[in-house]
């Protein structure tokens, strides 16, 4: 699927990068188009489609990198999840993947990750009634550490992999759809949801009524680094991406991201 981001980029005929470079970079330059894998389902403010164009933080990053290379850009939005993005890169179907992509040990077995461009923390959305039963007047922090209930996660995400390790005493329930997971925790079918702090806090901003049913807990000793993924043999391309990221000024906190979220 070909979509053009908010900043139209055209490959230039002069002043382009030289041909005396590593094979992984030369392959991209010869094609004159940077192919970027991105999930097909919008996740604003990171990436979303409006009137046939792509916008968002991740889109701007990809477009800026293409501009540095003086290349055109093509977004391949066929992946149904972040895990599928990793598959596309490992199979060589795109030059890079971006799209609120978390670094995990399992994913790093098949691709290389850039330096993080944004760090989020892990968080929980707890059903108020169920957590009252679980704590029974005890210390909330201790309950969270040894969470004994059921935790809902979005399938094929980093949190589906992390939940069994970080909450070994809990029963993990995977949901194919985030909306279904939110309904489940509000109805008490699961005791908590586990995801990054932005998505958990967004639940409260987009619908303040959720605060009557849910309690949020941010795990301050955790980190969810969002990065760009490339093929395992794209070492030079990765070093250029890291150089590009080091020269960018990016929003570094969840508060900024929440300001970009539209409310009803």
Task: Quote the CA–CA distance of 5 and 3 in Å, as a whole number.
Answer: 7
Query: Would 4-117+227-259 and 120-224 be classified into the same CATH topology?
Result: yes
Average pLDDT of the segment spanning 125-135: 84
Q: Are 57 and 46 spatial neighbours (Cβ–Cβ below 8 Å)?
A: yes
Identify whether the C-beta of residue 38 lies closer than 8 Å to the C-beta of residue 84.
Answer: no
Local confidence band at 2 (pLDDT 50, 70, 90 cut-offs): very low
Sort residue 56 into left (φ over 0), alpha (ψ -120 to 50) or beta. Answer: left
Average pLDDT over residues 13-38: 81
pLDDT in tens, 11-22: 344 444 555 789
Question: pLDDT digit string (tens) for 168-177?
Answer: 999 999 999 9
Question: CA-CA distance, 208 to 165, in Å (whole number)?
Answer: 31
- Superfamily assignment of 4-117+227-259 in CATH? Periplasmic binding protein-like II (3.40.190.10)
Q: What is the pLDDT of residue 134?
A: 74
- The yes-or-no verdict on residue 10 having pLDDT over 50 is no
46-67 pLDDT, tens per residue?
A: 999 999 999 999 999 999 999 9
**213-226 average pLDDT score:** 92
Average pLDDT of the segment spanning 91-116 = 95
pTM (two decimals): 0.86
Average pLDDT over residues 207-235: 94
Mean pLDDT of the chain: 89
Of residues 153 and 264, the one with the higher pLDDT is 153
pLDDT at 148: 87
224-254 pLDDT tens trace? 999 999 999 999 999 999 999 999 877 668 9
In CATH terms, the fold of domain 120-224 is D-Maltodextrin-Binding Protein; domain 2 (3.40.190)
Any idea where the domains of the chain sit in the sequence? 4-117+227-259, 120-224
């Amino acid at each position: 699927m070909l979509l053009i981001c908010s900043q139209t980029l055209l490959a230039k005929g002069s002043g382009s990068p030289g041909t005396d470079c590593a094979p992984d970079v030369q392959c991209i330059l010869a094609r004159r188009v940077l192919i970027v894998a991105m999930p097909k389902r919008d996740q604003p403010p990171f990436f979303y489609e409006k009137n046939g164009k792509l916008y968002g933080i991740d889109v701007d990053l990809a477009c800026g990198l293409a501009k540095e290379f003086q290349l055109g850009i093509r977004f391949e939005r066929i992946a149904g999840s972040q895990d599928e993005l990793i598959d596309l890169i490992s199979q060589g179907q795109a030059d890079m993947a971006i799209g609120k992509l978390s670094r995990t040990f399992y994913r790093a077995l098949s691709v290389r990750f850039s330096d993080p461009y944004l760090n989020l923390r892990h968080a929980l959305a707890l059903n108020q009634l169920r957590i009252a039963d679980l704590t029974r007047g005890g210390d909330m922090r201790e309950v969270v550490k040894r969470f004994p209930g059921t935790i809902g996660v979005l399938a094929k995400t980093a949190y589906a992999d992390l939940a069994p390790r970080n909450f070994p005493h809990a029963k993990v329930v995977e949901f194919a759809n985030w909306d279904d997971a939110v309904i489940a925790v509000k109805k008490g079918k699961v005791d908590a949801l586990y995801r990054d702090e932005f998505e958990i806090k967004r639940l409260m901003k987009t619908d303040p009524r959720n605060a009557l049913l849910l309690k949020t807990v941010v795990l301050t000793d955790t980190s969810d680094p969002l990065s760009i993924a490339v093929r395992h043999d794209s070492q030079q391309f990765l070093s250029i991406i890291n150089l590009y990221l080091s020269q960018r000024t990016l929003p570094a906190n969840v508060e900024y991201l929440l300001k970009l979220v539209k409310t009803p």
